[in-house]
Chain A
Amino acid sequence: MTGKGASGIAPASSELKHAGATRREGRRLIDQWWQELSAADAEARPVANVFVMGSIAEVLRAFDIPMSFPEIAALQTAIRGKSMDYLLAAEDQGYSPDICAYVKVDVGLHVTGREHPHGRLPKPSLVVSTNMCNTYIKWSEIWERMYGCPLFVLDIPGWRGTGFEYGVNGGSFRSDCAYVQGQLRELIVMCEQVTGRAFDVDRLREVMGEVNRMSEMYREILAENKNRPAPFNSLTEGVVHMGVANAYRGHPEGSRFMEAARDELRERVHAGIGPIPDERFRLLFVGPACYTNFRRFVEMFEEWGAVFVAAEYASYGGGGLDRGIHYDLARPIESLAEQILLSSQTSFSGIFHSHQWQTGVVRDWSVDGICFHGVKSCRTTSTGLPDAREWLMRNENIPGLFIQSDLVDARLWAEAQLKNRIDAFFESLQGRKASARR
Chain B
Amino acid sequence: MSELADILERCTSAAEDPSFPAVREWLDAHPGGKVLGHFQVYFPEEIAHAAGMLPIKLMGGGTGVQIRRADAHIAAFVCSIVRSTLELALSGRIDFMSMFVTHPICDAARHSCGVWARNFAGDCQILYFPHNATSTHAAEYLTGEYRRIAGAIEAQTGRSIADEALRESIELFNESRRLLRDLYAIKRERPWLVTAVEAYTLTRAAGFMPREEHTTLLRRALALIEEREAKRQDRIRVVFEGGFCEQPPLDLLAVLQDVCYIVDDDLLIGLRWLTEDVPTSGDPLENLARSYLGTSSYSPVQRDPRKPKEHMLLRRIRESGAEAAIVASAKMCEPGLEEQVGYAQALDEAGIPHLIMEFEEKMVVFEQVRMEAETFAESLLFEFA
Report A's interface with B, CB cutoff 8 A: 93-96, 98-100, 103, 131, 133-135, 137-139, 141-142, 145, 151-155, 157-163, 171-172, 175-176, 178-179, 182-183, 186, 351-355, 374, 376, 378-380, 382-388, 390-391, 404
Contacts and interface: CB of A to CB of B under 8 A. Distances in A.
B135 A186 contact: yes
A352 B114 contact: yes
Nearest to B82: A383
B113 A352 contact: yes
B248 interface: no
Nearest to B113: A161
Contacts of B371: none
Question: Which 3 residue pairs are nearest across A and B when measured between Cβ atoms?
Answer: A182-B137, A383-B111, A387-B73
Interface stretch (B9-17, B30-38, B101-109, B374-382): B101-109
Contacts of A98: 77, 331-332, 334, 337
Interface string B118-143: 11000111111011100111101100
A404 B341 contact: no
B113 A353 contact: yes
B342 interface: yes
B38 to A, nearest CB: 12
Interface in B36-83: 72-78, 82
Given A94-B341, A134-B301, A160-B148, A182 B135 contact: yes
A153 B303 CA distance: 8
B245 interface: no
Given A161-B124, A182-B137, A379 B338 contact: no
Given A141-B342, A384-B114, A386-B75, A155 B106 contact: no
Given A376-B77, A384-B73, 12 more contacts: A131-B104, A131-B131, A135-B338, A138-B338, A157-B145, A158-B110, A352-B114, A353-B114, A374-B75, A383-B115, A387-B73, A387-B115
B158 interface: no
Nearest to A179: B141
A384 B112 contact: yes
A349 to B, nearest CB: 9
Question: How many B residues touch the partner, as a band?
Answer: 35 or more
A407 B309 CA distance: 29
B154 to A, nearest CB: 14
Nearest to A378: B107
B74 A383 contact: yes
B341 A93 contact: yes
Given A158-B128, A183-B132, A134 B334 contact: yes
25 contacts: A134-B106, A134-B110, A135-B334, A138-B335, A138-B339, A139-B338, A141-B342, A157-B145, A158-B110, A161-B126, A175-B141, A176-B141, A178-B140, A179-B141, A186-B135, A352-B110, A376-B77, A379-B106, A383-B78, A383-B112, A384-B73, A384-B112, A386-B73, A386-B75, A387-B114
A152 B329 CA distance: 26
A155 B141 CA distance: 11
Contact of A153 (B115, B131, B136, B334): B131
Contacts of A388: 114, 118
A301 B104 CA distance: 35
A60 B315 CA distance: 36
Contacts, number: 180
Contacts of A404: 75-77
A190 to B, nearest CB: 11
A382 B115 CA distance: 12
Interface string B78-93: 1000100000000000
A346 B108 CA distance: 18
A182 B136 contact: yes
Contacts of B140: 175, 178-179
Contacts of B114: 159, 352-354, 384, 387-388
B183 to A, nearest CB: 31
B344 interface: yes
Contacts of B112: 383-384
A186 B344 contact: no
Contact of A137 (B74, B303, B332): B303
B334 A138 contact: yes
Nearest to A178: B137
Nearest to A355: B118
A108 to B, nearest CB: 13
Nearest to B148: A172
B300 interface: yes
Contacts of A351: 111
B203 interface: no
A144 to B, nearest CB: 8
A138 B310 CA distance: 13
Interface centre among A159, A172, A352 (most CB of B within 10 A): A352
Contacts of B131: 131, 137, 153, 155
Interface string B178-211: 0000000000000000000000000000000000
Given A153-B131, A160-B125, A379-B111, A384 B74 contact: yes
B204 to A, nearest CB: 25
Nearest to A351: B111
Given A95-B338, A171-B148, A390 B73 contact: yes
A158 B72 contact: no
Contacts of A355: 118
B29 to A, nearest CB: 28
